[in-house]
Amino acid sequence: MTSTTKVKTENKKVTGGDFLNLGMYAFAGLGMEVLYAYLLEPAVYGVTMESFSTAQKISHWILTCATWGLFALVLIKKSEKKYGFPLFGKGKPVNPARWCLCLALIAIALTADLISWGGFKIYLEFLKTGPLLFVFQYLYYAFETMLFLLIIIFGQRALELWTGKANIPYGGIICGLTWGLAHAFTKDPLTGILGLVLGFGMGSVYLLVNKNLKKAYVILFLMFIV
């Protein structure tokens, strides 16, 4: 598909607003966890999320992952069937310079986590949770990565259609302003700011790998967990 201001699919003109809506649905999917963690599950368990038992934490992550997986599946299918924008494809090869920039962004993310966590995030979380919870928590991260990647992809497509330009990481800006800043309310302001910066970097990765979903997913997951 070309980066024109409007794309015609069947008899309908597809606009940037259609893709921005998909991105917002992906963000709403992420927000379902808030509903589970702060309203539904505390009502069922009789305790706040901070007091969940091991079994309750695992149940929370399984429920959240199932919800996120369903959102991702529906949005990917809708993008392809309704708007003629398939997300899976080989795309153009990624040259060594672009791979180096991706590695640099992973290194920056690692450095930021070393500063904010005071050590290696993966190791510290393993010590904090133990092997069983660690596995389910990182499964949770894997599904979360898929949804914020969809925010990036659909946000990028929306702004490209509106502006006619494809070399600016619009998707990363939208990801930072939604998923990133949401952490300022659910966690703390510093985490929100870091999320904003990380979102922009992740949007840049999507462009660096020539908009290849699979490659972008792997790099974004690494950036997120280091």
- Predicted confidence at residue 66, as pLDDT, reads 98
Question: Which tens digits make up the pLDDT trace of 155-183?
Answer: 999 999 999 998 899 999 998 888 777 76
45 CB-side CA count, 13 A: 20
Nearest to 26 by CA among 196, 175, 205: 175
Structure-token pair, residue 166: 């494809």
Does the CA dihedral 211-196-159-85 come out positive or negative? Answer: positive
State the CB neighbour count (10 A cutoff) for residue 145. Answer: 22
Is the pLDDT assigned to residue 58 strictly greater than 80?
yes
**Which phi and psi (to 5°) does residue 33 adopt?**
-60, -35
Nearest to 63 by CA among 39, 96, 80: 39
Is the pLDDT assigned to residue 1 strictly greater than 60?
no
Q: Collapse the DSSP code of 99 into the 3-class scheme (helix H, G, I; strand E, B; otherwise coil) and give the result.
A: helix
Question: Which tens digits make up the pLDDT trace of 70-89?
Answer: 999 999 999 999 999 999 87
CA–CA dist 225, 150 (Å, integer): 18
State the CB neighbour count (10 A cutoff) for residue 34. Answer: 12
